[in-house]
Amino acid sequence: MAEPDVVPALVALGFSLNESRAYAALLQESPATGYEVGVRAHIPRSAVYGVLRRLVKSGAARSIAGSPERFVPAAAGDLLALLRNRFDTSTDQLENAIRSIDTSPPAPDAFSVRGYQRILEEADRLIRGAQHRLVLSGWPREIEQLAAELKRAAKRKVYAVVFSHAELPPLPGEIFSYGLEEKALEEFWKHRLVVVADDMRSLVGATEMGELDAAVISETTAIAEIVTSQVALDITLLTQRTGRDIEGVMAKMLGSRVGRLDTLLSRKDTEVTPKHAPTSGRGELERLRVKVIP
C-alpha cells in the first residue's frame, strides 16, 4: 500500500491524522528518530514524540532505546492481526450489549441515505439479507462492487436477475445487458442503482460518486412491486431485440399475476366480434404483451 493510501486507511480505523502520517513515515524509512519522523511526516517537533509514543502504546510502532531514541513500525501483518482482533472484540461487546436491551426500535417503512459509499453499503445489506429472489438494475461500476455478495447469494440458492444497458462482467443469475460501452452511455445517462430483495425490500438511488448521491430504502411491498415491474419492462424491451425467451424469468420475477392478467386479456379478445374488432395498433399490443402463463 502506497503512503497516500496508508494515511486515510489508518484514519478510517481510528488513528489520528498525525499518527497515520508518522506510521507511514516509519514505513518509508526506519529506524528513525523523532526528529526524522517529524520532518518526513510534517509533524511539529513539539508534537512528534507524543505521536510516536501513542503509536508504541497502541502496538503500531516499536521503540528502540538509545540516545537518541529511535522508532520502527510494527510489521504490517502483526498490525493488521492486532486491529482485526480488537475490532472483533469490540463488535462482540456491542452485540452482547444490544442483546441485553429488552426493547428494539421499530424499523421505518422507508428511509433515505446520502453518500455514494453508504448507498453501496445498503445495497450490499439488501443482497446479503435476500433469501429467495433478487432483482438488480445498474451500471457495471456499481454492480462489480456488489459482485462478491451476489456470489454468496447464489450459494444460498437465491434467484437473481440483473439488468444493465452497459456491458456487465460475469455474474451469477439471469443476466440481461445491451453490452454497450459504459463511457458512451455516461455522455447522456446518469448512474442509477436499483435493488429489490424478496419482493419486499428495495433500494433506488443515484450513484454518481458525488455529494448529491442519495437513495431511498423501502420495506413497502407496493414500492418493490413497482420497481420490479420497471426492470421487467427494460428486460422485455431488450429481449424484443434479441429474441431471447424470458417466459420463465418473468414468471419468477413477477409471479402469477402477469399470467393471470394475460388470461383475462385473452378472454377479452374472444369477446370481440371479428367484424367489429379494432385492427389499428393491435399488432403492437400483441408484440409488447408479456405472455407468461397460458
* Helix, strand, or coil (residue 107): coil
Interatomic CA distance for residues 278 and 288, integer angstroms: 17
Which residue has 438494475 as its cell numbers?
137
Please choose, from the candidates 166, 165, 174, 116, the residue with its C-alpha nearest in 3D space to the C-alpha of residue 145.
Answer: 116
Task: Say what the pLDDT of residue 263 is.
Answer: 59
Task: Say what the pLDDT of residue 290 is.
Answer: 42
Task: Say what the pLDDT of residue 262 is.
Answer: 54
Structural domains in the chain, sorted by start = 3-78 (1.10.10.10), 110-253 (3.30.870.10), 256-288 (no CATH)
Please list, in sequence order, all residues whose beta carbon lies within 8 angstroms of the beta carbon of residue 164, skipping any fewer than 6 positions away. 137, 138, 139, 140, 143, 176, 177, 178
Residue 143 in grid coordinates: 454492480
pLDDT digit string, tens, across residues 140-175: 999 999 999 999 999 999 999 999 999 998 999 999
Which residue has 439471469 as its cell numbers?
174
Task: Say what the pLDDT of residue 258 is.
Answer: 56
What is the amino acid identity at position 50?
G
Series of mean pLDDT values for 10-residue runs along the chain (294 residues): 72 89 90 92 92 90 88 87 86 78 66 92 95 96 95 95 94 94 91 96 94 91 93 93 89 70 59 49 41 36
Alpha-helical segments (H) within 42-115? 45-58, 76-99
Task: Say what the pLDDT of residue 89 is.
Answer: 87
Interatomic CA distance for residues 117 and 40, integer angstroms: 32
Task: Say what the pLDDT of residue 277 is.
Answer: 46
* Whole-angstrom Cα Rg for the chain: 28
Task: Give the pTM.
Answer: 0.63
Task: Say what the pLDDT of residue 252 is.
Answer: 87
Which residue has 424491451 as its cell numbers?
237
Is residue 53 a contact partner of residue 34, using CB atoms and an 8 Å limit? no
Residue 189 in grid coordinates: 445517462
